[in-house]
C-alpha cells in the first residue's frame, strides 16, 4: 500500500495480524530481508515501509538524511494509529530506528536493533564501519556473511527485478549515509533519551561493524541488553533467522504493554 505523508509518497508492506511490529529493513543491496519479514509475520502484524528512493516509487528530493526518515516513520505511526509497537531495525534500518527512539518512545514498547549502523565509537582515525562501497566484492561478501554464497553477485544469475532493487538500494543508501559515512555525529550523545526497553542483536562474526562496536553502542542506551548470535555476521536475520527471531520474541514478550491497563 502507498502512503502520502506531507507529499512524500512511499510504499508500506503489511503481513500478518496481532501486535504491531514495525520492521525497518537493512536497505543494503547485498541483503534481502523479505524471508525474515515473512517469519516475523507469524507473530504479529508486520509493517515494513520501503524508504523513499529504495523502492520503485519516486525519489523525494527533500528527504536527504536519516533524521528525515525517522520523522517520516513517526508520522506513519500516527497515520496508521499503531500502538504497543515492537520496533525492529536491521543495519541501516537499525540506525533509523535509533533516531526515532531518541525523539519519542510513546507508542513503542520494545526495540530490537540488529547490527545497527549510526554511531561513531572510535576516534577520527579509526574506521568503525567498513567502507562497503570501496571493498572488492569478494571481501564484502566475506565481511557481511559467514557463508558468502548467500549473496549471489553474478548479475547474470539474478532477475532484472532483483538487480533493479540492488541498484536503487546502493544509490539511496549513499544519499542518506555517505557523509559522514553511515553515522550521525550527534546520535551517540542522545541515546540516553531512549526510554523503551532495547535489545541489541549482533552477529558474532560481523566484520562490517564488529561486536565490540555493538557492545559500545549498546552501552549508550540505558539498561539495554546485548545478545550475540553465533554463526552469523552482519545479517543474523538472514544467516540465523531462527535464533534471531527467538531472541526478538523472548525480549518482546517480556516488554509488551497491557493496553487495557
Residue-wise pLDDT for 55-77, tens only, equals: 877 777 888 899 999 999 999 99
What's the pLDDT band for 261 if we cut at 50, 70, 90? very low
pLDDT over 70 (residue 258): no
Distance CA 6, CA 33 (A): 27
Average pLDDT score, the chain = 94
8-32 mean pLDDT: 95
Would you say 202 and 147 are in contact if contact means Cβ atoms under 8 Å apart? Answer: no
The pLDDT value given to residue 199: 98
Distance CA 104, CA 9 (A): 23
What's the pLDDT band for 257 if we cut at 50, 70, 90? low
Express each pLDDT in 73-131 by its tens digit: 999 999 999 999 999 999 999 999 999 999 999 999 999 999 999 999 999 889 999 99
Q: Provide, rounded to the nearest whole percent, the portion of the chain with pLDDT above 70.
A: 98
- Rounded to 5 degrees, φ, ψ at 80 are -90, -5
Would you say 111 and 198 are in contact if contact means Cβ atoms under 8 Å apart? Answer: yes
pLDDT over 80 (residue 251): yes
- Please work out, in degrees rounded to the nearest 5, the angle formed at the alpha carbon of residue 160 by the alpha carbons of 73 and 239: 60
Would you say 33 and 90 are in contact if contact means Cβ atoms under 8 Å apart? Answer: yes
pLDDT over 70 (residue 36): yes
Walk me through the domains of the chain, giving residue ranges and CATH numbers.
2-254 (3.40.50.1820)
What are the C-alpha distances in Å from 45 to residues 197, 215, 240? 20, 30, 22
The pLDDT value given to residue 204: 98
Distance CA 52, CA 173 (A): 11
Higher-pLDDT residue of 182 and 156 is 182
pLDDT over 70 (residue 259): no
Express each pLDDT in 159-189 by its tens digit: 999 999 999 999 999 999 999 999 999 999 9
The pLDDT value given to residue 62: 82
Q: What is the DSSP string of 92-125?
A: HHHHHHHHHHTT--TTEEEEEEES--B---S-TT
Express each pLDDT in 221-236 by its tens digit: 999 999 999 999 999 9
The pLDDT value given to residue 85: 97
Amino acid at each position: 500500500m502507498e502512503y502520502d505523508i506531507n507529499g512524500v509518497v512511499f510504499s508500506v508492506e503489511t503481513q500478518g495480524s496481532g501486535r504491531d511490529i514495525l520492521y525497518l529493513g537493512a536497505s543494503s543491496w547485498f541483503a534481502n530481508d523479505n524471508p525474515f519479514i515473512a517469519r516475523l509475520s507469524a507473530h504479529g502484524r508486520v509493517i515494513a515501509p520501503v524508504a523513499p528512493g529504495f523502492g520503485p516509487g519516486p525519489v523525494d528530493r527533500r528527504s536527504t538524511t536519516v533524521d528525515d526518515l525517522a520523522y517520516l516513520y513517526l508520522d506513519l505511526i500516527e497515520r496508521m494509529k499503531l500502538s504497543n509497537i515492537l520496533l525492529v531495525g536491521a543495519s541501516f534500518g537499525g540506525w533509523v530506528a535509533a533516531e526515532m527512539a531518541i525523539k519519542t518512545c510513546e507508542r513503542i514498547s520494545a526495540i530490537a536493533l540488529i547490527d545497527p549502523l549510526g554511531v561513531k565509537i572510535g576516534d577520527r582515525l579509526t574506521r568503525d564501519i567498513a567502507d562497503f562501497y570501496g571493498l572488492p566484492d569478494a571481501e564484502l561478501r566475506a565481511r557481511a556473511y559467514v557463508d558468502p554464497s548467500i549473496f549471489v553477485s553474478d548479475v547474470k544469475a539474478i532477475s532484472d527485478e532483483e538487480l533493479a532493487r540492488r541498484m536503487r538500494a546502493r544509490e539511496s543508501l549513499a544519499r542518506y549515509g555517505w557523509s559522514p559515512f553511515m553515522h550521525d555525529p550527534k546520535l551517540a550523545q542522545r541515546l540516553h533519551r531512549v526510554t523503551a526497553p532495547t535489545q541489541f542483536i549482533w552477529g558474532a562474526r560481523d566484520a562490517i561493524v564488529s561486536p565490540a562496536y555493538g557492545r559500545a553502542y549498546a552501552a549508550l542506551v540505558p539498561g539495554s541488553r546485548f545478545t550475540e548470535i553465533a554463526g552469523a555476521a552482519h545479517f543474523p536475520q538472514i544467516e540465523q533467522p531462527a535464533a534471531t527471531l527467538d531472541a526478538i520474541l523472548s525480549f518482546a514478550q517480556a516488554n509488551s504493554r497491557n493496553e487495557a491497563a
